[in-house]
Amino acid sequence: MTPFSPTVSVTSFLRSGVIAGMLAALSFALIHAWFISNIWFSVVPMMTAGALCGLCIAWSFAVVITRPSLASWLRYNALLVAMLALLGLTSVLFFRPVTTIPALFQLPGPPTNLFRQALPMTAAFTIATSVILSLRYRRDWRGFGAVLLANTVLVALLGLNVSIIGLVNIPRSALYLVAELFGLILSIGSVYATLVAVLERKSFVRPSR
């Protein structure tokens, strides 16, 4: 693989992405248990999902940016988090509510019917934002494929609950639940980006002028 710098390889960067993803998922479980409810029973699959997300984000970054800087890394991650927020806004604009929050709480598992109903919009959104990001960073099929993979994994593992916001009737008194959802997404994204920046500080070289 092409090195980021003369001393640091992409392999090292990907490994740091996996480690940071796992630790970010662990921090997510800790924050969720502290402020909302105990979810330690699912920490292993959550850390596995975190590792996969971390790997895909790091790999897509390595593909689309040949000479990374700390600013470009933080900006790239901020755009991915912003994409999830935009997915929620798109859901609100695209759908009308078909259920309520109390009804969701009574379900024995995830709201798979809502995920299925939102799937066409979610897929179209993921492809569209991948096109936009690839045009921003690397305008070829390899760049688009890398960004599309990262976006797809992020939406599948972090964004499904976001994609159905427009299908749920959320009164003002329950808006704090939406704030909690995006707060958790922001926290896991911030922890991940920061950990990779710390672990791979030698990888972030100043772009040549």
- List strand residue ranges (DSSP E) for 2-134, in order: 99-100
pLDDT band with cut points at 50, 70 and 90 for residue 206: low
* Any domain includes 58: yes
| Average pLDDT of the residues in 46-53 | 95
Does 209 map to a domain? no
DSSP 140: S
Tell me how many domains the chain contains: 1
- Per-residue pLDDT, averaged over 112-121, amounts to 96
- For 159, the domain range is 10-203
What residue type is 37 in one-letter code? S
pTM: 0.90
Would residue 208 count as lying in a domain? Answer: no
Task: Give helix 141-154 / helix 112-137 axis angle, nearest 10°.
Answer: 150
Question: Which residues on adjacent β-strands are paired with residue 169?
Answer: 100
Beta bridge partners of 20: none
Cα–Cα distance measured from residue 20 to residue 196, given in angstroms and rounded to the nearest whole number: 6
Is residue 3 in a domain?
A: no
**Does residue 51 or residue 1 have the better pLDDT?**
51
Is 41 a member of any domain? yes
Residue 98 in any domain: the answer is: yes
